Each structure stands twice: as structure tokens, then as C-alpha cells.
Amino acid sequence: MQWQPAGSYEDILFDLCEEGIARITINRPQKRNAFRPRTVQELCDAFSRVRDNPRVGVVLFTGAGPAADGGWAFCAGGDQSVRGDGGYLDESGLPRLNVLDLQRLIRSLPKVVIALVAGYAIGGGQVLHLLCDLSLAAENAVFGQTGPRVGSFDGGFGAGYLARLVGQRKAREIWFLCRQYGADQALAMGLVNGVVPLNQLETEGISWAREVLQHSPTAIRCLKAAFNAETDGMAGIQELAGQATHLFYRTAEGQEGRNAFLEKRPPDFSDAPWLP
């Protein structure tokens, strides 16, 4: 696999390969890949560029490691060292909660996002992992929440969608007890799709991405929107309905409406059947 750098950032790495796979890496290993506002802004930029690139169908989302002390992390959540009294302070001192923008971007990306988790996926990092469509854990992966200990919580996807995945009892245990769970426990509770040795994590992710890329982009984007619609309320329905509109635009029937308007004539839908 030949990765080509696709952008220049301070806190992340963004690479593409010719096969249609992107790799986005949080690159703050000395902070266990905790995110500050800049990190989130850069992640949003990279994911937006993936969204706009019609050659890319799958994103591998991961964290850089190991750190100088040998520690591994996917992401340890919000960077507590820049947490002010009203949010995470950006470089101009403005408090931000911009990880919520990133969550929605990953959730609605009409492509497949695969989390590759080596080491800790904790706090807001565990929520980011949760929002990926598929998740592969290395044997050293550790998942957990710390919010009730460090004075934060994610009552959106971090609570509701977690409960959908692992069940209400387990989700409450994860948040109320703030314990840590290893890769095999995560697999048993349905938090991840598979567990592999650390040195095979990326290879396995690439292999899963290649399988996805053999399939219909339209079927997959509609399925992703359908899975989201079940849990995401009106925003989920909007996303699924948008896929239907997208398909309708590509039909002769949809195009007749546009053509008739531009040609200043009544539309003729007589070729469109009223199918059962």
C-alpha cells in the first residue's frame, strides 16, 4: 500500500492511496491523541475533503503511536490542559465544543469510516470511535468513559447510541462506573467488529476497506443513511430522504421536471409508470 500525504496539518496526518482509501490519523501521541480545538478543526477539514473526493470510498481513522514512553492511544478525548471554564480554548482563547461538529460529519459522511483502535479510546475518543461505521481493535485496545470523574459527559451519541450498541445496562455501567474494558470485552459487548494483533491492525483495516470498495457505492451510502435514520430522528430521516432525492435526480422522470421548467412548458410525465 502506497500512502501519499494529502494535506499539511499540525495535529493530524491525512493520507490517500490510489485504491480509494483515505487514512486520517490523530497525531498527538504525547497527549495520548487527546484533541484540542485545532485537532478537531483539522479533522473536520480532512473528513470534508474526503466527502468531496469521489474517488474515496473508505476512511481508516486512527491514532498515531506509540508515544515516546511506549503508550498507545486511538484518542483520550478532550485535551484537559486547554479546558477553560466554558469549553476547550482555541489559540485565540475562545471556548469551543467543536467535537460535536466532527461527530456529525463522520456520522453523515456518505462513505464508510473504519476505526483502527490501538491503545486507549477514552472519553470523547471512545465516542469518536463509536461513531465510525466499523471498528477494529488491536489486542492492546482499552475502551472507557471518564466523564463523571473529570467533570464532563456526552449525552448525545456518546450515551444514546452507545446504549443502542451495547444495551442500556452496559452503557449505564460504562458511564456510571468509569471502568476500562479490554479488546475482548469490547468485542463481547458489540463495541467492535474484530480484534487483531497490534502489528496487523492496519493490514486488516486495509483488507476490510478493499472488501467494501468492491461493492456498490450507492447501495452503501443508502444503507448508511438507513442505519442512521433509525436512531437519528429528523436529521436521520433528512439524510435518508436526501439519498432518495439524489437517486431521483438521476432519473428521466426527475430530469423531465427540470427540463420542462427551463423550457417554459408543462412537464410531461407520461413515460413514468405508476408502479405497484
Contact set with ligand S0N (CB under 6 A): 31-32, 34, 71, 73, 76-81, 87-88, 97, 99-100, 120, 122-124, 146-147, 150, 152, 154
Is 4 annotated as contributing to ligand binding?
Answer: no
- 3-class secondary-structure state, position 266: coil
Tell which residue, 66, 80, 74, 27, has the closest CA to residue 191: 74
Minimum CB distance to ligand S0N smaller for 53 or for 231:
231
Contact predicate 74/33, CB 8 Å: yes
Minimum CB distance to ligand S0N smaller for 77 or for 205:
77
* Least distance to ligand S0N, CB of residue 230, Å: 22
Minimum CB distance to ligand S0N smaller for 147 or for 205:
147
* Least distance to ligand S0N, CB of residue 67, Å: 7
Tell which residue, 5, 273, 22, has the closest CA to residue 132: 22
- Answer whether the bond into residue 66 is a cis peptide, omega within 30°: yes
Query: How far is residue 31 from each of residues 64, 125, 141, measured CA to CA in Å?
Result: 11, 12, 16
Is 9 annotated as contributing to ligand binding?
Answer: no
Is 205 annotated as contributing to ligand binding?
Answer: no
Is 147 annotated as contributing to ligand binding?
Answer: yes
Strand-pair partners of 113: 59
N residues, the chain:
276
* Least distance to ligand S0N, CB of residue 249, Å: 35
Minimum CB distance to ligand S0N smaller for 103 or for 243:
103
- Within 10 A of 64 (CB to CB), how many other CB atoms are there? 19
Q: Rounded to whole angstroms, how far apart are CA atoms 70 and 120? A: 12
Is 79 annotated as contributing to ligand binding?
Answer: yes
Minimum CB distance to ligand S0N smaller for 198 or for 260:
198
| Burial of 276: CB neighbours in 10 Å, binned 0-12, 13-18, 19+ | exposed
* Least distance to ligand S0N, CB of residue 56, Å: 27
| Chain position carrying cell 470534508 | 48
* Least distance to ligand S0N, CB of residue 242, Å: 25
Residue numbering of the annotated binding site:
32, 76-80, 88, 120-124, 145-147, 152, 249, 264
* Binding residue positions for substrate: 32, 76-80, 88, 120-124, 146, 152, 249, 264
Tell me the binding residues for hydrogencarbonate: 145-147
